[in-house]
Structure 1
Amino acid sequence: MEMILLLVAMFAIMYFLMIRPQQKKMREDQEMRSQLSPGDRVLLTSGVFATVAHIGERQMIVELAPGVEVTVLKGNVARKVDVADEEFEFTDDSATQPAEQAQPQSDDALTAESFEAMLATEDEADEASDAKTAESPYEPWQRKDLPSFEAPKDDEPRPEGDK
């Protein structure tokens, strides 16, 4: 009889210390997900901040950046984010930033002119390689410089080390 009472007591302790708090947390998470609405900022389980755009029964479409939307399962929402939780503030138009807050460009920053020059150089290199390929097309079946990997003939004895 004591053994049964001991087992019941152990189960009750496990229920109140492990199972019940886990169920309570799961209920709170489901309630938080059901209260989400378009425009809410959320933190996904992957660590990505996003804005809720549309909500379905099991999935939601979130906006990661202006114009970049992805579909995620509702279960991938870790929590709703407050403004105080976010370190950076993003706007749709970077031209609206005051000059004092604008980051100075570093020396290795890519400007529009240098980007166009880089593209022109790449185009010239592509054209040169295309001309080279047109002169001598690559035909791998005609290669003779590689050793042959034919199977040994049955009448030749195999060396002792190759068993």
Structure 2
Amino acid sequence: MDPQLLLPLLIVLFAVMFYMQIRRQKKANQEQQKLQNSLTAGDRVMTTSGLFGTVVSTADNSVDLEISPGVVTTWLSAAIREKVDTEQDSDGEQAAADTAEDDTAEASDESKAAKTGEAESTESKTETAKAETTESETGEAKATESGAEVAEPIEKQKTS
């Protein structure tokens, strides 16, 4: 390939990629503007932070959302990500509730298993300590798991 054509080709390639990026961004902005202009009272929406609410009223740059019965908050209209179908929303909330219950049950089971394991571990440590104490008192050498002697026989001294 001719080196004189390489630079113009790279410039054209960069310009095309830049144009496509700008075009995609403009299209997304138009869709967002269209959504914001179409909001009416009673629409179920989701904000960019994931909060679900029902539109109570709209102003130029703000939207009042009812997030629970009697609780109305004011949001910038740019914070509205999408309209949500009420059927889809209730199904999603039910699925989220089911998942939360399953996670809680699993955590409870794991907690019980961990406590049981701790209890078993404590019991075995206590038994090991008792055995070591008994062996030391009798003057016998005890061996660790690796087989090395840990304690020497204890000689009892007679006191006069």
* TM-score (norm: length of structure 2): 0.50
Q: 2:28 aligns with which of 21, 25, 28?
A: 25
The corresponding residue for 2:14 is: 10
Structure 1 residues 21, 45: closer, same or farther in 2, change over 3 A? same
Task: From the CA coordinates, give the structure whose radius of gyration is larger.
Answer: 2
Within 1, Cα distance between the matches of 2:38 and 2:91? 25
| Cα distance in structure 2, aligned partners of 1:4 and 1:89 | 52
Counterpart in the other structure of 2:61: 58
Letter in 2 for 1:39: G
> Where do 1:5-154 residues align within 5 Å?
5-16=9-20, 18-87=21-90
RMSD between aligned residues: 2.2
1:12 counterpart letter in structure 2 = V
User: Which structure is higher in helix share?
Assistant: 2
Output the CA distance in 2 between the equivalents of 1:75 and 1:38.
17
Which ranges in structure 1 are unaligned for 5 or more consecutive residues? 91-163
4+ residue runs over 4 A deviation: none
CA distance in 1, matches of 2:62, 2:38: 14
Q: Aligned partners of 2:16, 2:49: CA distance in 1, in Å?
A: 36
Q: CA deviation at 1:32?
A: 0.9
Query: 1:111-153: CA deviations, max 9, x gaps?
Result: xxxxxxxxxxxxxxxxxxxxxxxxxxxxxxxxxxxxxxxxxxx
For residue 22 of structure 1, report the CA deviation from its aligned partner. Answer: 1.8
1:61-116 C-alpha deviation (Å, 9 max, x unpaired): 111111100000001101001123213599xxxxxxxxxxxxxxxxxxxxxxxxxx
Aligned residues: 89
TM-score with structure 1 setting the length: 0.49
Residue in 2 that maps onto 1:148 = none
SS at match of 2:60: coil
The letter for the 1-side match of 2:59 is G
